[in-house]
A and B are shown apart, each in its own frame.
Chain A
Amino acid sequence: MVDDPKKESRLLKSAEEFLQIFRKGEEFTKSILKENERLRFRIAELEEALKQNSNSQRIKNYEERIAVLEKELDSLKKRFQEVEKENRDFAVRFVEIEEENNNLANLYVASYQLHSTLEYDEVLKILIEIIINLIGAEKFSILLVDEKTGDLVPVATNGISIDEIPRIEVGKGIIGRVAKEGESHFPETISHTDEPDPTSPLVCIPLKIKDCTIGVIAIYSFLLQKRAFSSIDYELFNLLAGHAATAIFSSKLYTQSERKLSTIKGFIELLTEKHN
């Protein structure tokens, strides 16, 4: 209790002032809190907006990137298809070249062997080997034009007796016609017969030196496993037509000249002995 009324009044006034200051402080705090809440809400709003904005931009970027990549993928797919096609073409070409290479090797061997000797019998033997091993013929004969009669006479056979092959007049039948015209005779397909007709071969190839036919190769049957003609067969027919003819002709001339030489030598020796 204050005894002095003046003092009491002063105290009351001070208290009143303090209370007012306190109330103002309270109001200020409340308004700050409210402002704080508003700002926090605003921040949240902005953050959300930013997030939204950032996601849509990212999606847009991704979409653009996907479009570019899809374009690249299409272009790569196209290139891949082109390369694949090229690859297939190269593979086909490789097989063709391999085949060509094999054919050339076969032709080289055939040609090399045919010209490897000047012995007539040896040439005929090699020719028979080529016809069996490279063409795949089973029964065949080689007929040469007889210089005296002009007829085709069998000189070698395989799989068939030489006695079964008749002399053939040039121009008559398949064999005679091939010898006359100088053009090969061959069917589209190969047929297998047990008893072939010696005058009617399946394949007949002329043996030609330039335009002159010196004989023919008559094939009556092929090995069972040979079912069709391949490109190498036709090449071999052409090769045989030329190379076999020259090989036979030159070996025949060589053998004849050797025989004549030996006769002359014997004659000279005889004369020398008589002279001595």
Chain B
Amino acid sequence: MPNILVVEDSPTMRQLISFAMRRVPDAKVIEAADGVDALKKLSQEKIDIILSDINMPVMDGLKLVSLVKNNPTYKNIPVIMITTEGAEEDKKRAIAMGADDYLSKPIQTQELIKLVKKYLELK
């Protein structure tokens, strides 16, 4: 049963992504409101994939991905960034920090599900 960590400060987006993740077979969605909350959840549960926003209060998505990818325990967890930034530069920035993939808002639910399934199968 894959555990999906959704890191997003907007409750609307969190609910939307969680709703979409119901279509990933047997998936359990764990929600976090920011990077710090996400690190807390990572220490409590075995996470299989992280879907994170970039712009968040307390700790943003780029800092979170950098901490995750530099931690030997978590570095193999795929991280998909979801953000309003659509420019290629921002995409490169997220990938350079260690993100495995990137999706721009407004998100296409089918595209997100496909991407999550792809990374869960690769694991």
Contact = CB atoms under 8 A, between A and B. Distances in A.
B12 A223 contact: no
Interface of A: 98-99, 102, 105-106, 108-110, 112-113, 116, 126, 129-130, 132-136, 138, 223-226
Contacts of A98: 110
B15 A109 contact: yes
Interface string B2-33: 00000000111101100110000000000000
Nearest to B10: A129
Contact of A224 (B11, B87, B106, B110): B87
Interface of B: 10-13, 15-16, 19-20, 84, 86-87, 104-110
B86 A224 contact: yes
A184 to B, nearest CB: 18
A136 B86 CA distance: 11
A133 B106 contact: yes
19 contacts: A102-B20, A102-B108, A105-B109, A108-B19, A109-B16, A116-B11, A126-B11, A126-B12, A129-B10, A129-B12, A129-B13, A132-B105, A133-B12, A133-B84, A134-B12, A136-B105, A223-B105, A225-B86, A225-B104
Contact of B109 (A102, A129, A138): A102
Nearest to B111: A102
Contacts of B104: 223, 225
Contacts of B13: 129, 133
Given A102-B108, A133-B16, A134-B16, 6 more contacts: A102-B20, A109-B16, A129-B12, A136-B106, A138-B84, A223-B105
